[in-house]
Amino acid sequence: MDIFTNSPIHPFFFIFAAVFASGLFILNRFFSKRGPQQLPLPPGSMGYPYVGETFQMYSQDPNVFFTSKQSKYGPIFKTHILGCPCVMISSPEAAKFVLVTKSNIFKPTFPASKERMLGRQAIFFHQGDYHSKLRKLVLRAFMPQSLHYIVPQVESLALHALHSWEATHEINTYLEMKTYTFNVALLSIFGKDGAMYGEELKRCYYVLEKGYNSMPVNLPGTLFHKAMKARKELGRIVAKIMAMRREMKHDHNDLLGSFMEDKELTDEQITDNVIGVIFAARDTTASALTWVLKYLRDNPSVLQAVTVSFFLSSEEQEEVAKQMISREKGALSWGDTKMMPVTSRVIQETLRLASILSFTFREAVEDVEYEGYLIPKGWKVLPLFRNIHHNPDIFPDPEKFDPSRFEVAPKANTFMPFGSGTHACPGNELAKVEILVLLHHLTTKYRWSIVGDNNGIQYGPFALPQNGLPIKLSLKK
């Protein structure tokens, strides 16, 4: 979801890596003489020297921090988190200004250590012609015409996952969804080759994943060092697959095939983008699926609206089931996924209410004026998606799970689960398909119950139901 926008990161990920540089930056900005005509900075507070307000933000639900700041200072305010001076914005107009209207002067940004792990040539670290080229290649692989061919294979992965969960006494929903979305990511990137090298790719990626939020200390024994070794091994596996394809000279409709058709891209650039797509396609979609199960379980009337069984009836799912029966193979098709409007609204409302990506990072490449305030060059700018999605003036009764609110399309720049502008997630159609396919079979064939307390929320870095939402799954009789 994005799946290709930046995600929130753990507070200790790069505070210490950036602490001295950011300290000097702030001292220069705040203690140097400013001309009389210089615009004021947005209102707000910068917290303690060097560490700013990072601990205030992460010692509680981060959304409490965002909301309290907005209530006190308005829709644009300054702060200092994660080692960086920041301007946070929480209005649709400001989000459009940063992500669309002036996107050329607000570049995507990540900590340097994360760029090293994923690969500096990956799509979401760039702007301009190179970014445009990569985006077109990704869109070509993930457009409806291309996804049409993999829906039955996605369905096979969903059915296999559900069957394995049924055989288990209790599952951690989030962890199982991560496995499912990882398998879909490999399918969409490597096609059949993903199955051939799947175990090797998983083994290396899981090690790499553990280093994402570690301190960037590249010494033997550290998580970061292990992650960088796994990153090299992932590169060797991707190189092996590319070499095999060049030798066989077959056309492939997957993402790797799309990248390889562009003869200007180097193998290093292709590898960086392949690994970047795996990163972007996995955790956010798994988080969304986890929240869908919780919201459906908590809202029986909504679950009933998307379910067909011996006891419950749904015109939507019944129609899909009839279409499947009429076909010899009985498999879902791309067209079937477009006949699920109620389920689609459930997904939209889940993305709004859960707001998997609470914000994204941009960096001003020059001094910028907005609404009479100065956004200094080098400052981070964070559009707060969650604040916009939970604004009662935009979405009445925002804490209520109400899919019917999406019977009418939301106003522009008020619903941005996949980001906005040139860096909006190009894989959003794939994410929707894998969610719809799994939900179709889950709701029509299974029932599930949540184990233990189901009201808590954990952050790490995405907001998730407590303990990853443990559930028991059983086949409907």
pLDDT-derived band at 315 (thresholds 50, 70, 90) equals: low
pLDDT-derived band at 371 (thresholds 50, 70, 90) equals: very high
pLDDT at 346: 95
**pLDDT surpasses 90 at 92:** yes
Binding-site entries: 425
- What average pLDDT does range 172-182 have in this prediction? 95
Query: CA-to-CA distance for 94 and 99, rounded, in angstroms?
Result: 9
pLDDT at 320: 62
pLDDT at 461: 65
441-to-162, 330, 429 alpha-carbon distances in Å: 8, 13, 19
**pLDDT surpasses 90 at 183:** yes
- What average pLDDT does range 50-65 have in this prediction? 79
Please list, in sequence order, all residues whose beta carbon lies within 8 angstroms of the beta carbon of residue 41, skipping any fewer than 6 positions away: 78, 373, 374, 376
pLDDT at 437: 94
Q: Residue 249: count other Cβ atoms within 10 Å of its Cβ.
A: 6
The string of pLDDT tens digits covering residues 187-196 is: 999 998 888 8
The string of pLDDT tens digits covering residues 261-308 is: 999 999 999 999 999 998 888 888 999 999 999 999 999 999 988 874
Find, among 369, 346, 248, the residue nearest to 288 by Cα. Answer: 346
Binding-site entries for heme: 425
- What average pLDDT does range 56-79 have in this prediction? 87
Single-letter amino acid code for the residue at 121: Q
The residues with which 470 forms a beta bridge, in sequence order, are 172
The string of pLDDT tens digits covering residues 378-408 is: 999 999 999 999 999 999 999 999 999 999 9
**pLDDT surpasses 80 at 36:** no
Contact of 434 with 126, CB cutoff 8 Å: no
The string of pLDDT tens digits covering residues 95-121 is: 999 999 999 999 988 767 778 888 889
Residue 310 vs residue 80, higher pLDDT: 80
Find, among 417, 168, 465, 174, the residue nearest to 295 by Cα. Answer: 465
For the chain, the average pLDDT equals 84
Query: CA-to-CA distance for 346 and 299, rounded, in angstroms?
Result: 11
Query: CA-to-CA distance for 139 and 273, rounded, in angstroms?
Result: 13
**pLDDT surpasses 60 at 20:** no
pLDDT at 309: 31
396-to-393, 399, 401, 405, 453 alpha-carbon distances in Å: 6, 9, 11, 9, 28
Contact of 41 with 370, CB cutoff 8 Å: no
Single-letter amino acid code for the residue at 262: D
Place of tokens 């290396």: 204
Per-residue three-class SS string for the chain: CCCCCCCCCCCCCCHHHHHHHHHHHHHHHHHCCCCCCCCCCCCECCCECCCECHHHHHCCCHHHHHHHHHHHHCCEEEEEECCEEEEEECCHHHHHHHHHHCHHHEEECCCHHHHHHHCCCCHHHCCHHHHHHHHHHHHHHHCHHHHCCCHHHHHHHHHHHHHHHHCCCCEEHHHHHHHHHHHHHHHHHHCHHHHHCHHHHHHHHHHHHHCCCCCCCCCCCCHHHHHHHHHHHHHHHHHHHHHHHHHHCCCCCCHHHHHHHCCCCCHHHHHHHHHHHHHHHHHHHHHHHHHHHHHHHHCHHHHHHCCCCCCCCCHHHHHHHHHHHHCCCCCCCHHHHCCCHHHHHHHHHHHHHHCCCCECCEEECCCEEECCEEECCCCEEEEEHHHHHCCCCCCCCCCCCCHHHHHCCCCCCCCCCCCCHHHCCCCHHHHHHHHHHHHHHHHHHEEEEECCCCCCEEECCCEEEHHHCEEEEEECC
End-to-end, the C-alpha distance of the chain in Å comes to 34
Query: CA-to-CA distance for 433 and 347, rounded, in angstroms?
Result: 11
pLDDT at 158: 96
Query: CA-to-CA distance for 147 and 128, rounded, in angstroms?
Result: 27
Query: CA-to-CA distance for 175 and 182, rounded, in angstroms?
Result: 11
Query: CA-to-CA distance for 356 and 325, rounded, in angstroms?
Result: 36
Residue 170 vs residue 11, higher pLDDT: 170
pLDDT cut 90: percent of the chain above it = 54
